[in-house]
Structure 1
Amino acid sequence: MDFQLTDDQKALQGGIREMLARRFGREALRAAVERPGRLDRALWRELGELGFFALRLPESRGGVGLGLPEAVLAFEEAGRALLPGPLVATHLAAGRIEGAAEGEKAVAMADGALAAWLEAADEVLGDTAGAVPIQSVDPLTPLHRLPGGHGLPGGHGRAAPDPALAPDPVAVLLTAAEQLGSAARTTETSVQYAKERHQFGQPIGGFQAVKHLCAQMLVRTELARAAVYAAAVTEDFAEIAGAKLLADEAAVCNARDCLQVHGGMGFTWEADVHLHLKRAWVRGLMGLSAAEAQEIQAQALAARAWAGDGDSAGEALASAL
């Protein structure tokens, strides 16, 4: 399977990165932190004009007519920039709710036991009856707790017995793509800082311990990237669950290692590293929790074993362990 991006995909990725760098740079990010729970409607409409929300909508319905791999690339860039807002829900609502594709409306979504951006959204996908606002660790993601969701906040998820409560695979994969973007950004930030920060007369990147941290971050990122890109091609739910697991781990662990590389400075409010870590924690509970993703993968392995492919299933389980 060839995961090399086409010229068109590179152009899409570069265009979104350039637009976000221009419209949502560090100053805009910090301004968003100071006004939590508020959407930049002008930016939202600009995303709509760019086709961000209508990427997978057919051209006959006013969309861009691309596929899930292209949507993954777009959401990877959004995660890299820590772009706030109900991006996944609005993308899913394109073509279903008038104005969503154009960025005229922001759409929130009931996501397991949590819902984000309910009070700032114009429309909501799913049942949010009984939603209770809760304090979010991420200042850029206002949250509500939902009764009877398919997962439990805190990472203690459970598989949904009712298929109607199962998470949307596309929503799970796009959330994983955001995590991947964050993991890549913290890796880049760590490497850059390790080149610039000097101790004992040399860049700290010359010390073996820092080299190992950065190398581990890169390995996590590229492993998650391969899984997310592959799942975008196959659209297999078990592979999507595996991609979410790897992307969550990469986003959280890379943000922690980025803090370590930055030392005491990384723990300050002025540094952006903590924003990546907090967003990674929150995204880890969205779509699928780790326990739910593990359950889905276990069921897939068991199904393969029952289908007579026990050897390969056992090998896959052994490699996972």
Structure 2
Amino acid sequence: MRFELTDDQQDFAASLEALLAAADTVAVARAWAAGDHAPGLRLWQRLADQGVTALLVPEDADGMGATPVELAVAFEALGRHAVPGPWAEAAAYLATELSGAAREAIASGTVATVAVPPHTPYALDADVADRVYLAGSDGVRTATPGEPLTSVDRTRRLFPVTPGAVHDTADRSREAFDLAVLATSAQLLGAGERVLADAVTYVKQRKQFGREIGSYQAIKHKLADVRIALDFARPLVFGAALDPTPRAVSAAKVACGDAAYLASRTGLQVHGAIGYTEEFDLSLWLTKIRALVTAWGTPGFHRARILETLRSA
């Protein structure tokens, strides 16, 4: 099966790419990591104005809105540009789980985050969010964040939360969780694509012994392996977007996590010593990939879920 975006979806992707390419997202991410959230919040609102936070919010009484395909398109762009913030938490999980005024607030650009134990035990960027929630078996509760924990990705600040009053008792948690997994998978795909693109650019410029290092067969093979892994992961993302079953989204998460991690390792290897430095922009994607591989369910959890669905089929 071939997955091709419609003209409208391609236009949406192009508009997001144009916005993010002009937004200096590297500077935004570095500022966010340093505790200066103003540039990131301005970008959040611009993306909300583009409809990113409202993709899963029904547009009419019949419940018709955008599809998860648009969600995958948007989150691939967010990953490719290392955009910081609780995007999967707000635009995927809470936009699905909540209802009424709370959902409309997220659609309009209110920054919100959520902890969903056991797979997402901490609320991402709770110090920045206007609304913090804790999702459990009894619905969604408001929550109060505690002291932040350290993440390998300096743009991700994780907070334990204390539950408050029940906010919404509707149980859409399974659907919401799977859409958050799908969104994270698309982010990993976009981040992997960015690392590969930067690595290809670098090996065409870096010379050793009078030759571009990209001319060496061993380097070509490593980069080709990354290209193949990403190309095999992409159909799983958009297949899951068309039919977001637990098996499909878990397969997408595993494939995208493996492909992006391979891209990060290969990108680090071909860049050499400079790739290890925090000042080099590659580090933004390397650490983000490492964090997202285990976000919204570890690879072990998702592999086990795939196995369980195969056993029960």
TM-score range, shorter chain: 0.7 to 0.9
The change in CA–CA distance for 1:211 and 1:269 in structure 2 (over 3 A counts) is: same
TM-superposed deviation, 1:282: 1.5
Contact 1:217 1:254 in 2 (8 A): yes
- Paired with 1:116 and 1:298, the residues of 2 have a C-alpha distance of 29
Percent identity of equivalent pairs: 31
Deviations 1:250-281 (A, max 9, x none): 22221111011111111112212222121112
SS in 1 for 2:105: coil
Deviations 1:156-190 (A, max 9, x none): xxxxxxx9689711011101110110011111111
- Paired with 1:142 and 1:302, the residues of 2 have a C-alpha distance of 38
Tell me the matched-pair count.
288
Contact 1:259 1:266 in 2 (8 A): yes
1:1-321 equivalences in 2 (<5 Å): 1-35=1-35, 40-60=40-60, 65-92=65-92, 93-94=94-95, 96=99, 97=102, 98-103=104-109, 105-111=110-116, 112-127=120-135, 132-145=147-160, 168-304=177-313
TM-superposed deviation, 1:229: 1.0
Deviations 1:207-242 (A, max 9, x none): 111111111111111111111111111211111101
TM-superposed deviation, 1:65: 2.4
**RMSD of aligned Cα (Å):** 2.5
- Deviates further, 176-185 or 273-282: 273-282
TM-superposed deviation, 1:64: 9.0
The change in CA–CA distance for 1:292 and 1:145 in structure 2 (over 3 A counts) is: farther
- Paired with 1:101 and 1:226, the residues of 2 have a C-alpha distance of 28
Name the residue aligned to 1:312.
none
TM-superposed deviation, 1:118: 1.3
TM-superposed deviation, 1:30: 3.1
Q: With structure 2 as the length reference, what TM-score do the two structures score?
A: 0.84
TM-superposed deviation, 1:27: 3.1
Contact 1:135 1:142 in 2 (8 A): yes
The change in CA–CA distance for 1:275 and 1:36 in structure 2 (over 3 A counts) is: farther
SS in 1 for 2:60: helix
- Paired with 1:130 and 1:101, the residues of 2 have a C-alpha distance of 23
TM-superposed deviation, 1:131: 5.2
Q: With structure 1 as the length reference, what TM-score do the two structures score?
A: 0.82
Contact 1:167 1:288 in 2 (8 A): no
TM-superposed deviation, 1:85: 0.4
Contact 1:106 1:121 in 2 (8 A): yes
The change in CA–CA distance for 1:36 and 1:287 in structure 2 (over 3 A counts) is: farther
TM-superposed deviation, 1:145: 4.3
TM-superposed deviation, 1:10: 1.2
Contact 2:260 2:289 in 1 (8 A): yes
- Deviates further, 18-27 or 201-210: 18-27
**Structure 2, unpaired ranges of 5+:** 136-142, 163-171
Deviations 1:22-62 (A, max 9, x none): 1233333333333366672222211111111112322227x
- Paired with 2:36 and 2:189, the residues of 1 have a C-alpha distance of 23
Q: Greater strand percent: which structure?
A: 2
SS in 1 for 2:219: helix
Contact 2:31 2:37 in 1 (8 A): no
The change in CA–CA distance for 1:23 and 1:204 in structure 2 (over 3 A counts) is: same
**Structure 1, unpaired ranges of 5+:** 148-162, 305-321
Contact 1:167 1:287 in 2 (8 A): no
